[in-house]
Structure 1
Amino acid sequence: MNTTSHADIPDFLMELEDAFNKAMISNDVEQISRCITDDWILVTPEAGPVPRSRILGVIASGLLTHATMTKVATHACVAGDVAWITGRGQNTGTFNGAPMAADEYITDIYRRVDGQWRCMLTHLTPAHTSQQSAA
């Protein structure tokens, strides 16, 4: 197992994250689907675990859109056919027609499936500003 700091995040993980971000801001369900496993789960503070089908359905309907999405990776680990990467991310878009913006810590867990790395879990945690205290 290899745990890394931000200075030595494996290039392939950064490329996966970049592709995932581009897919999300494309708002194209087919493009997003190529980045995630069939059993992908998104864990949010608002809704808890949300299955792939629900997120893709909301994106396909236009209720959720992303205009920007960035992540600065700080930690990563590769262990055989599983890898994770954690960092701070920001995104903008709309939800139910209203503008939205998020600043959060994001962990993506990838699994190699048939030689291709796919995200199997995305976990979001809101980032606290200096005026907020952590629990």
Structure 2
Amino acid sequence: MPAPAEEFLADVLPRQTAAERAVHNGDAGASGDLAYTVGFEQNTVSINGWPATYTLRVTHVYRREDGEWRIVHRHGDRPPDEPAPEDSLHSR
């Protein structure tokens, strides 16, 4: 029988539309109707017409409601050693 965290990830991750940009190489856990994931997201945006890529550290908290996992909290911030996206534009 899979552990609660493995069962949760097997159910939720395939259905996330942004999963291709998320790297869940941090941690995950589940207990009852609550679960969490911690990892990194890589994103590419356009700033003043120039592409810029950045990384976010992210935490998602999920709650199972009516049989479906829903995100009830999300936090994301730039890792301390990651330059801001606009910093890469100053070198152009």
Q: Could you say which TM-score interval applies, normalised by the shorter chain?
A: 0.5 to 0.7
- 1:127: how far off? 1.4
Query: Which structure ranks higher in relative contact order (CA pairs < 8 Å, sequence separation ≥ 6)?
Result: 1
Larger Rg: 2
RMSD: 3.2
1:105 aligns with 2:62: no
Q: TM-score, normalised by structure 1?
A: 0.46
Aligned to 1:12: 8
Could you say what secondary structure the match of 2:23 adopts? strand
Give ranges in structure 2 of 5+ residues lacking alignment: 84-92
Residues 129 and 80 from structure 1, CA distance in 2 versus in 1: closer, same or farther, beyond 3 angstroms?
Answer: same
Moved over 6 A (4+): 95-98
- 1:81: how far off? 0.6
* Distance across 2 between alignment mates of 1:130 and 1:101: 10
Cα deviation 1:61-117 (Å, max 9, x = unaligned) = xxxxxxx62223321121211100101221223479764432021111111010111
Residues 14 and 95 from structure 1, CA distance in 2 versus in 1: closer, same or farther, beyond 3 angstroms?
Answer: farther
Percent identity of the aligned residues?
28
